[in-house]
Amino acid sequence: MHEGEPINAGSPLVFDKVVFSYSETRFDFDVAFSPGVVTALMGPSGSGKSTLLNLIAGFEVPDSGRILIGDADVTSLAPALRPVSMVFQENNLFGHLSIARNVGLGRSPSLRLDAADREAVSSALARVGLAGKEARLPRELSGGERQRVALARVLVRDRPVLLLDEPFAALGPALRDDMIDLVIELQQERRMTVIFVTHHPSDARKIAEELVFLEHGRVSATGKMDRFFEAAGPKAFRDYIGDDGAAR
């Protein structure tokens, strides 16, 4: 695959018998994420959620097996060439660059922006509610606003796969709710394939149609969200969320 080659929005994303290990920790991922929907990725701390996302983004490379996005085998493709955007809990922005330039990086890593690029940056910032704040530095924004900047960069990148690694975990409940609404709107506009890591069952139910539950570096259960919250749902998941989990 070459940079700029079109991949339709909402690409399916497949782990085909992927094996990966850090020194003493082994991961076996064999799972498919549905195209054009949000899948919540949940599991205890250390179960491998971030590792799974890092394999998709190309920050880690499998020992064996393949990762497919759409029809493309991206297993050993450089991160910059993958049709993927990723948002972390924090530190998504460069502190010495203005908000507009941070978003512009999604368009051109060398920040050579033409008029169309600058227009795309302005409209993305307006779309996430940050019109008028283009010239600010990240430290001059609130935590929620900084995550909005990261989402504006996702919009100008316009990649078919979006990975969100506990993006709103540092925000309070009301703000988290607003940010989730924003992601739902953006996903409905662009129909990206989204993987959303969260510890909150209520956030997962709100944003995602499907759920992949990890334990000890493996997928322990996968399927439609509602099924997980039924009495007959996967026991490991019910144990993880606790007795009142369904109400949260």
Binding site for ligand ADP (CB under 6 A): 22, 25, 43, 45-51
Q: What minimum distance in Å lies between the beta carbon of 116 and Mg ion?
A: 36
Residue 47's binding partner among Mg ion, ligand ADP, none (Cβ under 5 to 8 angstroms by kind) is ligand ADP
Q: 55 vs 207, which CB is nearer to ligand ADP?
A: 55
3 state SS of 3: coil
Q: What minimum distance in Å lies between the beta carbon of 130 and ligand ADP?
A: 29
Q: 228 vs 240, which CB is nearer to ligand ADP?
A: 240
Residue 39's binding partner among Mg ion, ligand ADP, none (Cβ under 5 to 8 angstroms by kind) is none
190: CB partners within 8 A, 6+ apart: 9, 155, 158
Q: What minimum distance in Å lies between the beta carbon of 203 and ligand ADP?
A: 16
Residue 11's binding partner among ligand ADP, Mg ion, none (Cβ under 5 to 8 angstroms by kind) is none
Q: 50 vs 187, which CB is nearer to Mg ion?
A: 50
Number of shown-chain residues binding Mg ion (CB under 5 A)? 2
Q: 66 vs 216, which CB is nearer to ligand ADP?
A: 216
| Count of Cβ atoms closer than 10 Å to residue 245 Cβ | 16
Q: What minimum distance in Å lies between the beta carbon of 221 and ligand ADP?
A: 15
Q: 10 vs 33, which CB is nearer to ligand ADP?
A: 33
The contact mask relative to Mg ion for 10-49 (x = CB under 5 A, - = no) is ---------------------------------------x
Q: What minimum distance in Å lies between the beta carbon of 175 and Mg ion?
A: 21
Q: 51 vs 102, which CB is nearer to ligand ADP?
A: 51
Residue 173's binding partner among ligand ADP, Mg ion, none (Cβ under 5 to 8 angstroms by kind) is none
CA distance 9 to 3: 16
The single residue listed with the structure tokens 């969260």 is 198
- Host H or E run for residue 27: strand 25-33
Residues contributing to the site for Mg ion (CB under 5 A): 49-50
